[in-house]
Amino acid sequence: MTENAPASRRADPTAQDEVAGIASELIRIDTTNPGDHSGPGERFAAERVAGLLAEVGLEPTVLESHPKRTSVVTRIEGQNRSRPALLIHGHLDVVPADPADWRVHPFSGETEDGCVWGRGAVDMKDMDAMMLAVARQRLREGRRPSRDVVLAFLADEEAGGKWGARWLVDNHPELFDGVTEAIGEVGGFSATIGGRRLYLIQTAEKGIAWMRLTARGTAGHGSMLQPDNAVTELAEAVGRIGRHEWPIRLTPATRAFLDEAAAALGVDVGHGDYRDLIAKLGPISRLVGATVTNTTNPSVLTAGYKVNVVPQVATAQVDGRFLPGFEDEFFAEVDGLLGPGVQRELIHHDIAVQTTLDGALADAMAAALLGEDPEGRVVPYCLSAGTDAKSFSRLGIRCFGFSPLRLPADLDFAGMFHGVDERVPIDALRFGARALDKFLDLC
């Protein structure tokens, strides 16, 4: 903006000015998603998002898949509409949070110690705020992207996306006409390893297998011999599955990241065990460690109603995640661990997603990050969790995780996801807004 610009234009806030305030405001809107429609839903947040978009001349579409389960989609027309469109997506729902466990109230959006605090600060109302702030600045300044950009603010990601991204893909695919590439959450953030800042671009994510295990036995009095005990049968299966040591399987994204990390640390892994290297990675070691194997974590147990009554049925739920290319191996191994008295059914099942860090879009992501941090280095990685990319990939869209943040070296960023005292540094939000704006100029 020039010095001769009208005063009203000079007074317009930039994306950097707005981003922390928008993140705080979105956090204050409780969008807890317990997974069964019992939460407050995303409607109030979606209405606020739609209002912020309409203020700068966009015409957002607000869609409700189920009462209170609301998503917002809008399209920014690009300068060259013959080019394929780009999708930028974020989700509005968050996982539950107990205020008693937090240093600040999880839905306060409070600013303290240079951070915005609250549930969703990193998962993922930070990126929602960056999307809004950057779009608002660009439209106020009349800066259109080079191609069409679709912005999607989605419901239900934290429960698998059935009522959000998946519902839109199945029922309103026309909203994504012409889209060939997408960026979303959990990528573009920095991790300091060996004194070097690596920016991790998500090019792959594990598949989901949420399973219910059921054992059936003979009900009876707790004082009698009960060899056919459903609880015992189930507990043994849960123990085998929970303690199982899965073999290391290196996907291309994980191998590329680990090779870069080894170089940063001056470690020669050779043909040795990558677990030793992973242990040296600091705060992101748990996240990276979950990307070299399939995983199975028992999470819910249900059985019985009285201490002296042996129940007829016992159930457990297990969060299973499989690496791209290893789904068949995963299920074969799980079934071998169950035992003859335990049955498995799927609560939620979704695909693994994988691409490569190459092409013009990858170059634009790298250039945007390095334009803000010339000393950084961009590397691919595999996400241990799942995102709405699973749904959008069904439309043939090539998906990346790119929500840019430059983070302090000692911040346990991975631990913020679904953790207590979730927070995002304001400087990181400002960095992200600048990088995302640069990215839209380059992509």
Q: What is the pLDDT of residues 52-76, one digit of tens each?
A: 999 999 999 999 999 999 999 999 9
The string of pLDDT tens digits covering residues 313-366 is: 999 999 999 999 999 999 999 999 999 999 999 999 999 999 999 999 999 999
Beta bridge partners of 215: 314, 342
Residue limits of CATH 3.30.70.360 in the chain:
207-247+297-320+328-347
Is 7-203+353-442 assigned to CATH 3.20.80.10?
A: no
Q: Report the candidate in 102, 112, 115 with the shortest Cα–Cα distance to residue 419.
A: 102
Q: Is 21 exposed, middle or buried (0-12, 13-18, 19+ CB in 10 A)?
A: middle
End-to-end CA distance of the chain: 22
| 40, 49, 182, 379 from 391: Cα distances, Å | 24, 22, 11, 24
**Of 32, 218, 21, which is closest to residue 136 (Cα–Cα)?**
21
253: alpha, beta or left? (left if phi > 0; alpha if psi -120 to 50): alpha
**Backbone CA torsion sign across 162, 167, 169, 170:** positive
Q: What is the pLDDT of residue 11?
A: 66
CB proximity list for 125: less than 8 A, separation 6 or greater: 23, 26, 27, 90, 92, 94
CATH code for the part of the protein at 207-247+297-320+328-347: 3.30.70.360
Query: How many other β-carbons are positioned within 10 Å of the β-carbon of residue 82?
Result: 8
333 vs 300: CA distance, rounded Å: 21
Task: Please check whether residue 44 is in contact with residue 25, taking contact to mean a CB–CB distance below 8 angstroms.
Answer: no
> According to the model, what pLDDT value does residue 17 have?
96
| Residue 212 neighbours by CB under 8 Å, 6+ apart | 315, 316, 317, 344, 345, 346, 347
Q: What sign results for the dihedral spanned by CA atoms 128, 129, 130, 134? A: positive
> Start-end ranges of CATH 3.40.630.10 in the chain?
7-203+353-442
- Give the pLDDT of residue 1: 38
The three state secondary structure string of 228-258 is: CCHHHHHHHHHHHHHHCCCCCCCCHHHHHHH
pLDDT the model gives residue 3? 43
- Rounded Cα distance between 122 and 14, Å, is 21
- pLDDT band, very low/low/confident/very high, at 8 (cuts 50, 70, 90): very low
Side-chain-side CA neighbours of 23 within 13 Å: the count stands at 37
